[in-house]
A and B are shown apart, each in its own frame.
Chain A
Amino acid sequence: MSLPGKHRVPPEVSPSPSPASRRSRLRPALGGGNRSGTGEPARSAAPAGELWLAIHLPDYILESLCQPVAAAGEAAAGDDAGHVVVVDPGRGGKVVCACGVTATAAGVAPGMALNSALALLPDARVLARDSRRERTLLETVAVMALDFTPRVNLDPPDGVLLEVRGSLRLFGGVRPLCARVGERLRARGLVPRIALTPTRLASLWFARSGIEVALRRPEALAGRLAALPLACTRWPERSLRSLATMGVRAVGDCLRLPRDGFTRRFELQMRLDLDRALGHAPDPCVAFVPGERFAARRDLEPELADTARLQRACEPLLDELCAFLQARGASVESLELRFLHRDAPPTRLRLRFAEPVTAAARIAALLRERLARAEWPEPVRSVRLRSGPLSEARAQPGDLFALDRGRASAVPQLVERLRARLGEEAVHGLCLVPEHRPEAAWEKGDILLFQSSGKGECPLFPSQRPVWLLAEPQRLEGEEQPRYQGALELKEGPERIESGWWDGRDVRRDYYVARTPAGVRVWIFRERRTPGGWFLHGVFG
């Protein structure tokens, strides 16, 4: 999925000029040689033609905690999310680290003490930050990004990068591509900042600054980057402060500084960042490899107990699952849904499909059956979806004359629907067992497994076998003349069936075909072991 290759250059081979050669020159500036005339730093180390699209999520803390509820509750959800104030429990939980729209309007700001925030907005909902959910949000965005390109990197905690050079033609150019990416994210209720430049860092810096640019020419980078405030680089606070005391506040100011002095005074990483942002140094990064199983959750607000609304609440999760499957060309055979309650233990639903599936509609149909059967001890406050192991998807071939294709392919769907409502055991097939005792001559089979096995050859019996077999032989009245719905008339027989000592179910029977006065043909036997007697074992039907 990832393309290891040209972009994975080890970091130590950065083509920075050796100190000796640098000292001999006239203090080259950080910004590169285009203006100073020195050749070395200007050499572009970025692989030619890369284009990086950066997605920055400024409100990721809030978005990871408050997922938008279904479209029906849009307005309510919007109001609700506005009142949220998030604190970081890792830092004592007393300082606001993010807040919703209403809270901002009321004067709450990140960095404020929680008590001050509550004083400004008494009805605020205080939530604790959850780094795991932030990571999940980022990975969700990355999975979505895989629809646009196979090369995706994460920049935790709030950035995702896509190398999109190869995708431009497919999506109709830079602008439409950026628009599509933005549209997808906004549909998920996220507020992204998107920037596109030839280098990773430059894209990220633009996106973090909130400037949505689309630059394709590397020469234009230095000029456009110059205006960005240095805060977007996320360099250490101490270094930024000392730069500020020197009057260096924007990236452009930084680029004018002498290269060797800057290297001596500040971290090596900072110089490297500048080189990478300008495309002068290679920028290796680890490709994002999506997880092998799908897991997602969705919190329900308010709590739901109604099956139809639960179904609707699960549908976005299923859509996400299907996008995930589609991105991998994969399918699933089982899913697990966990419905969390306030106090009661979680309700689990396991969906098993008769064959690997990829279509959301089919999963939703099965889910509907299961939800209708499920019993809820309490309203549901959160839904978690986890996929089983993935398998490779098989594409359905299209067919112009799709007249007779329906039958065989409809069976797995029918079976899984019936099983979802009636239970696993309720649907089974039949197969033959080479065995002389009538009750052991057949067994239940898994329908979908023995479709592939060869046709069981028809056994040859000395006499006919009944279509109905009783689960247990039924004792009949009468010693010499058996009676069942009247006196039985023996038509055929006897057929002697004996032995079975090897598994403890020994039999010694003489079977007869008999007919009742009403015309029902039955299969009866006379027990040859003491105490003897007649038994009904089957009905011919």
Chain B
Amino acid sequence: MNGAVSRQCQGLGPLSPIPDPRSPTSLDDLLRHPGLWRAREQGGAALRPGLPTGFASLDRCLPGAGWPLQGLVEILTDRNGIGELSLLMPVLARLCGGEHEDGWLAWISPPHQPYAPALAACGIDLRRVLVIRGQAAEWAMEQALRSGACSAVLGWAVCRDRQSLRRLQLAAEQSRCLAVLFRRLRDGSEPSPAVLRIALDGDRDGLEVRILKSRGGHAVSVRLGWASFATRAIAQ
């Protein structure tokens, strides 16, 4: 046993290339060295804790006990306004509202104008809100994810081909932010590389949250009564 360990140690050469002491470097650069193995970066998405959604029943169904921060989240719904944003508001307020956070919130080609007073009332810091319109929504979303400037990116992109979805997923995996892509319900039948896919449907009593795909979790369905949203609004 000992022999095996020592052989392994000999096999590990010195960390090379040795960083030039004169060049400006940061600890982050050193930690990016391929020879370093960091335990917390290993394992699947399931092991990484997510951000609490603010709805206890939904948290219980998600593998990271909340929204995954590494990877694309797809929210599928045919009706704008069914409650998709109310579902996200608690986490957005937490990511882009607190005094200590400096993350930006990007809205990429939203279907309507995000209304500033409502966002402010939910606790989002308007100074860090970015609204992006234009043709190339997928490209803009990828840029926003890759820039590292945003802590949450909400996109309403069509994503007709799998390749653009794949690119978004890769960008979302590398960024440390909440990446949400809103699509139509019919897109749910097509495969997608997203980490989490949620279909939303509602009626007069509440919101039906169907988890279609959840890496490291199960496909289940949760029902959130409108009352739980209402209490949240009052608490805010």
Contact = CB atoms under 8 A, between A and B. Distances in A.
Interface in B109-138: 110-123, 125-136
A517 interface: yes
Contacts of B84: 541
A428 interface: yes
B118 A432 contact: no
B131 A430 contact: yes
Nearest to A521: B81
B85 A467 contact: yes
Nearest to B177: A407
A449 to B, nearest CB: 10
Interface stretch (A15-23, A211-219, A284-292, A412-420): A412-420
B36 to A, nearest CB: 15
Interface of B: 24-29, 79-86, 89, 102-104, 110-123, 125-136, 139-140, 143-144, 147-151, 201-207, 226, 233
A541 B85 contact: yes
A402 B28 CA distance: 6
B111 A518 contact: no
B233 A401 contact: no
Contact of B114 (A413, A421, A467, A471): A467
Contact of A431 (B113, B116, B206): B116
Interface in A348-395: none
A145 B10 CA distance: 53
Contacts of B28: 401-403
A522 B81 contact: yes
Nearest to A515: B204
B80 A430 contact: no
A451 to B, nearest CB: 6
B121 A415 contact: no
Given A400-B27, A429-B130, A414 B149 contact: yes
Contact of A519 (B104, B115, B204): B204
A522 B83 CA distance: 11
Given A403-B28, A422-B136, A471-B112, 14 more contacts: A399-B26, A401-B27, A407-B104, A407-B148, A418-B144, A422-B134, A441-B117, A442-B117, A455-B127, A459-B120, A466-B81, A470-B113, A518-B201, A520-B202
B27 A403 contact: yes
A441 B120 CA distance: 12
A427 interface: yes
Contacts of A411: 104, 130, 147, 149
Contacts of B112: 468-471, 539
Interface in A458-472: 458-459, 461, 464-471
A401 B26 contact: yes
15 contacts: A398-B26, A400-B26, A404-B102, A408-B102, A429-B127, A429-B130, A432-B126, A451-B127, A461-B117, A468-B112, A485-B79, A518-B203, A519-B201, A520-B202, A541-B86
Contact of B147 (A400, A410, A522): A410
A406 interface: yes
Contacts of A401: 26-28
B82 A520 contact: yes
Contacts of B144: 414, 418
**B interface, by DSSP: helix, strand, loop or mixed?**
mixed
A39 interface: no
Nearest to A411: B149
A413 B148 CA distance: 10
B206 A519 contact: yes
Interface in A209-247: none
Nearest to B147: A414
Contacts of B119: 430, 467
A469 B133 contact: no
Given A407-B151, A466-B118, A518-B79, A418 B140 contact: yes
Interface string A89-112: 000000000000000000000000
B125 A430 contact: no
A18 B26 CA distance: 69
Contacts of A408: 102, 149
Nearest to A405: B26
Contacts of A438: 115, 117
A423 B134 contact: yes
Nearest to A430: B116
Contacts of A451: 127-128
In the complex, which of the residues A414, A438, A451, A518 has the most CB atoms of chain B within 10 Å of its own CB atom?
Answer: A414
- What 8 pairs between A and B have smallest CB-CB spacing? A519-B202, A539-B81, A541-B85, A422-B134, A442-B116, A402-B26, A410-B149, A468-B112
Nearest to A402: B26
A105 B79 CA distance: 80
Nearest to B133: A426
B131 A519 contact: no
Given A470-B112, A541-B80, A541-B84, A465 B102 contact: no
Contacts of A447: 130
A355 to B, nearest CB: 13
A430 B123 CA distance: 14
Interface in A153-176: none
A469 B121 CA distance: 14
A453 interface: yes
Contacts of A418: 132, 134, 140, 143-144
